[in-house]
Amino acid sequence: MTLDFSPIQWLVILSAMAFAYVVFGMVGFGTALVASPVLALFVPVAKIVPLLALMDMFAALVNVTREGRKADLAELKRLVPMMAIGSLVGATILLVTRPDALMLVLGTFVVAYAIYSLSSIRPQRPFPPGASVPFGLVGGVFSALFGSGGFVYSIYLSGRIDTKDSLRITQTTLIGLSTLTRVVLFALAGVYLDPALLLLALALAPAMLSGLFIGRRITLRLAREQFIALIHWMVLFSGVVLLAHYFAK
């Protein structure tokens, strides 16, 4: 891998990363869905997931260091063990079978759920605590399979947490823990021994930090109802991307 990008290419990459982290700063997930299609034009596909895992981990660390006290510890205690189990299941699935059918099933469910949530007929009923089991497991599975399970956690958390700041930082903390696992695995596999990959992450850090700052400032201006609607639009976008990936194969 090389960093021999033209000035225009650098501008496109930095702009995509800044926008991706505006989204992350607002809702706590979505960088892979937003940035990956652009990065794939310039960066080897095999390097994108390790790159974004590393940057998501540090982005989550920045947010948690600043606002970690707002995280809902009870929900984290419910979700994290399920997320870990789901990640192991996802890694097993990846080794023994093709996960394409799962992409279709989840994409269909997510699109249907997002449309339902954005409709005016949605009843205001919170999820029971036991819903953390299926949502944690499925989120872990898809984090391991496709590097993006955050939108699954967001469906559960948006139906459990009333405060938008607590919802956002709890989501961010989950993403941080999830990416930490992947970063450790990539490090053990020697992926980060590539100096160009680390230099690229360093070069993209200012765009990441700028995006986080802008995203947080936007979120502070939103009412909770607007924030929840924003999450559901991102969930809808996530489902559409999954379906597009499935039918493009």
Q: Given CA atoms 77, 80, 84, 90 in this order, what sign does their dihedral have?
A: positive
Q: How far is residue 50 CA from its own chain's centroid?
A: 13
| Phi and psi torsions of 82, nearest 5° | -65, -40
In a 3-state reduction of DSSP, which class is residue 30?
coil
Rama region for 112: left / alpha / beta (φ>0; ψ in -120 to 50; rest): alpha
pLDDT at 160: 86
Which pLDDT value is given to residue 23? 86
Dihedral sign from CA coordinates of 197, 200, 206, 209: negative
d(CA 21, CA 188): 27
Distance separating alpha carbons of residues 141 and 238, to the nearest angstrom? 16
| 79 conformational bin, left if phi > 0, alpha if psi -120 to 50, beta if neither | alpha
Place of tokens 């139906």: 159
Q: Count other Cβ atoms within 10 Å, centred on residue 93.
A: 15
Cβ atoms of 138 and 86 within 8 Å: the answer is: yes
Q: Could you identify the residue written with the tokens 């936007």?
A: 218
User: CB–CB of 246/104 below 8 Å?
Assistant: yes
Distance, CA of 169 to CA of 186 (rounded, Å): 25
pLDDT at 82 (0 to 100): 92
pLDDT tens, residue order, the chain (249 aa):
778 899 999 999 999 999 999 988 887 777 887 888 888 888 887 788 889 889 999 998 888 888 878 889 999 999 999 988 988 887 777 666 666 666 777 678 778 777 877 776 554 567 898 999 999 998 888 777 766 677 788 888 888 888 888 888 898 888 888 888 778 878 888 889 999 999 999 999 999 999 999 988 988 888 777 877 887 788 788 778 778 877 876
CA 112 to chain centre: 19
CA 83, CA 67: separation in Å to the nearest integer?
22
The residue type at 145: L
